[in-house]
Structure 1
Amino acid sequence: MTRYGGFWWRALAYLIDAIILQLALSVLGGALGFGLMLPLAGTGSLADAVIGFSMLGMILVLLVGQWLYFALMESSRLQGTLGKLAVGLIVTDEEGRRINFMRATGRYFAKFLSGLILCIGYAMAAFSARKQALHDMMAGTLVYKTRDPSSLSAQ
């Protein structure tokens, strides 16, 4: 019998993903030149405007980068991000099948609501019967503690 992925396994997976994303997106932001204008901060309205647009650009890179990372990885044949794979978790729909990109996208953006309500949406994974966080319930997904998605179809 395959177990559901509990709160602490999911938290560890997210920590791994956060480190990976921070490194990758920092390199990408540097390659795109974000941050090069910071020495000009406070020197004039044009420089401040450029810095503002640079920061806005980096925020967009972060948001789009994180969304694509989570949605593409969780909807791929791997069924999980690098952090989830490292701790042995996969994401499925409620029937144990691989989720598509649109469901993974909905799951990602539903995480904002999980965090917005004082992270109670995330904590729900510790107390719900199938270890679902709020965003899992909204997206109709489950997280299993297994490295073999084919083991779910045998149940």
Structure 2
Amino acid sequence: MTFASIWRRLVAFLLDYLIISVYLIFLVIVGVGLGLGPLKTIFQVMFANPNVSEASAFLLLVLPVLLYFVLCEQSPWQATWGKRKLGLRVTDASGARLRFPRSLVRSLLKLAPWELTHACLWRIPGWPTAPSTPSPIITVGLVLVWVLVGAYLISMFVGKKHQTLYDWIARTYVVQVPHP
């Protein structure tokens, strides 16, 4: 196996983030429409308190992105659109396709900092329109987000296989596909 370079992995993620960004823009447009239109009450209920807001954000935002990564990386392609464009695949130690549970674990760990960010932000008083100073526990949570992101990035640099911490835990690898 030829392990993917750090740069190829990062560019592949940026390409995938283009797709995610289009989806985010769509959600913002729909959200603004719900907030202004006759369905304003539904929008208000969806974001009535921190717990409901977080659950709504998870169902509308995180879950679809999670499923994008899980389903693409366990599919016969073994890759998201960005990875396919860069000639990368996600495999297990033998180079085989991931089964759904392993792909799910990998993606849950990958997106953990993103979800932790949401959990913390929704608990800042006044968020998102008039946020006030967060409590110390929220500040610790937001610092933990950056610690996790840093650990993910640093872990790609320390080994010859360029595994992230979530790859190491899930026992997965991102490999370069040989050109025919």
TM-score where L is the length of structure 1:
0.76
Match of 2:165 in 1: 134
Cα pair distance change 1:113/1:25, threshold 3 Å: closer
Task: List alignment gaps of at least 5 residues for structure 2.
Answer: 115-144
Deviation at 1:39, TM superposition (A): 4.3
In angstroms, what is the RMSD of aligned CA positions? 2.9
SS at match of 2:90: strand
Residues 38-86 of structure 1, C-alpha deviation per residue, up to 9 Å, x if partnerless? 348xxxxx79834625965344211111110000000000000000001
| Amino acid aligned to 1:137 | W
Equivalent residues in 2 for 1:57-76, closer than 5 Å: 57-76=56-75
Q: 47-56 or 76-85, which moves further after superposition?
A: 47-56
Equivalent residues in 2 for 1:52-91, closer than 5 Å: 52=47, 57-91=56-90
Find the aligned partners of 2:17 and 2:113 in 1 and give their Cα distance.
Answer: 17
Task: List alignment gaps of at least 5 residues for structure 1.
Answer: 41-45
Aligned length: 141
SS at match of 1:90: strand
Match of 2:92 in 1: 93
SS at match of 2:47: helix
Deviation at 1:111, TM superposition (A): 1.5
TM-score where L is the length of structure 2:
0.66
| 8 Å contact from structure 2 (residues 31, 43) kept in 1 | no
Residues 102-146 of structure 1, C-alpha deviation per residue, up to 9 Å, x if partnerless? 101100111145773252223311221211110000000011011
**Equivalent in 33, 38, 51 of residue 36 of structure 1:** 33
